[in-house]
Amino acid sequence: MQTDWDYIVVGSGSAGAAVASRLSEDGKTQVLLLEAGRKDTSIIYKVPILGPMIGLKDKNSDWGFKTEADPSRQGRIDHWPRGKVLGGSSSINGTIYVRGNRGDYDHWRQLGNVGWSYDDMVPVFKRLERNEDGASDVYGKNGAVVVSETRGPHPLTKVFVEAVSEVTGCPPNPDYNGEVQVGASVAHVTQKNGWRYSTSRAYLAPARHRANLKIVTHAEVARVVFEGKVAVGVEARIDGELRVLRARREVLLSAGSINSPKLLMLSGIGDPAKLGQFGIPVVHANPWVGRNLQEHPAFQVKALVNVKTSNMESNVAGYIKNAAWFLLRGGGPASHVLPGISFVKSRPELEYPDLEIQFVAFGYDTTEEGLKLLDRPAITLQPNVNRSRSRGRLELRSGRWQDPPVIHPNMLGDPYDLEVLVAGGKISRQILRSRAFAPYLVGEYQPDASVQTDGQWADYVRQWTTPGHHPCGTCKMGVDDQAVVDPRLRVVGVDRLRVIDSAIIPQITSGNINAISIAIGEKGAQMVREDAR
């Protein structure tokens, strides 16, 4: 393998696959894409349900990060999955597609990030989207990523949509990725005919034949190599050997919100005191690398119903039936994790929804061994905070690139997030007690009727809140003293190095962030090309 390239892209996930594909489109620019994980040829990465059910916690697919005990949630320790495979987390996630709303991106612009307003971002989303089944007129038609409506959702999904409308007074909204986000809908997903459409399938599969693009799997990057303050390449372990690969133009980190800041710190960009503890020479002092860590805190409200749900089919007969349904019609339980989605205001005077409430057509208990499916028909509503305000941090565990970082989530550190989740729990209970659900509801399961007061709800939320699997913000984009990258995604204080992934998000947006991560990849690649010219 050659050792000199125009661009080296680290990470093939939701953003990195887009970056590598777009930069290599001209057939001349030499692009090297390094992925720490394996190829995505397994059926696990093709059938949507298998990614979350099998890919998560699988060392061949998931980095398997663990957090420190979180004092804001009674010392809870969480598994934070991140994809370690071609396509990254887009190969193992729930495939939900959410752009976010105008307020999200206009806020980014108000923070000084020129070029990142809502009106700037809509064309980027349309450029990446390919709407093949008429899911919504708001989507683009010729992009790389297929967006469709969930196929064969559980029948109670439409009851959920009706119930949300009843409780909130807002009509159903299948165009929730358009100008108005409020309302409920069958979820839109990155799937084609029910099959997962990861960024590997969307961007890398069509680009594999290009002579100017080299994709290397099982390539673990140890650090960025600098000459002075200029990034000139990376040191990576490939085929068991550490080697230096050089970039003539730029090094582009798309390793994700956990590994991108880790690589910056291992390379000498971070808090000098912390770097000094591990003997890492300082290239540029910036104590904000790894800080501004954000998540969507979420918890579950569960109920028993009188209609068969997916947890009742966790047996040989159920697997055969659902596999046949999927193979013949591309739908059913194998094609989705959560078939219903809604965006809700906890208070009517709000300009934008502060809650996302998801519908899941199965019930389970959370145990020390993991999820245990109930032996009775059940459903789950999952409220989570859209633009959460709590901030955690990420630090090096050692100076060894092989060691995972230390993650402090602080997920309910800001009282606002707890307040909004409590409101989400109450609204979820109203949805379950609606006229729409009345013919199907057998009883509330968790929390039970003993949880009534605000204090009881707050205690329950602190005990059961989990991450939404949307970490971001650890290499914050901005123009202030806390910025790690500028609005062109260039790492502050050094040259020829950018971060292009969800780590740059200054304020977490409303809803699942995979679509936003892809858009960051698209926009980042465009910026690289513009600056090269």
Distance separating alpha carbons of residues 408 and 340, to the nearest angstrom: 31
Secondary structure letter of residue 444 according to DSSP? E
Enter the tokens of residue 253.
């980190």
Enter the tokens of residue 57.
């916690």
Angle (nearest 5°) at CA 271 between 501 and 473: 25
CB 47 within 8 A of CB 334: yes
Enter the tokens of residue 527.
């910026």
Secondary structure letter of residue 62 according to DSSP? B
Q: Specify the 3-state DSSP secondary structure of 380.
A: strand
Maximal CA-CA distance, the chain: 69
Q: Which of 154, 188, 284, 470 is catalytic?
A: 470
Enter the tokens of residue 23.
């930069």
Sign of CA dihedral 247, 253, 259, 260: positive
Q: Of 506, 437, 392, whose CA–CA distance to 73 is shortest?
A: 392
Q: Specify the 3-state DSSP secondary structure of 63.
A: coil
Distance separating alpha carbons of residues 36 and 190, to the nearest angstrom: 23
- End-to-end distance of the chain based on CA atoms, in angstroms? 28
Counting Cα atoms < 13 Å in the Cβ hemisphere of 377 gives 11
Strand positions, DSSP E, 11-152 = 31-34, 65-66, 79-80, 129-131, 145-149
Map 215-235 to HEC letters: EECCCEEEEEEEECCEEEEEE
Cα-based distances in Å from 337 to 98, 163, 184, 188, 331 = 15, 20, 16, 12, 12
**Catalytic (active site) residue 470:** yes
* 194 Rama class: left (phi>0) / alpha (psi -120 to 50) / beta: left
Strand positions, DSSP E, 143-186 = 145-149, 183-186
Enter the tokens of residue 390.
């709590």
In single-letter form, the type of residue at position 28 comes to: K
Token pair 């290009």 is at which residue? Answer: 210
Secondary structure letter of residue 52 according to DSSP? I
92: phi then psi, degrees, rounded to nearest 5: -130, 5
Which residues 6+ apart lie within 8 Å of 97 measured at CB? 147, 177, 187, 188, 189, 190, 512, 514, 515
Q: Of 204, 241, 245, whose CA–CA distance to 224 is shortest?
A: 245
CB atoms near residue 272 (< 10 Å): 15
- Give the catalytic positions in this structure: 470
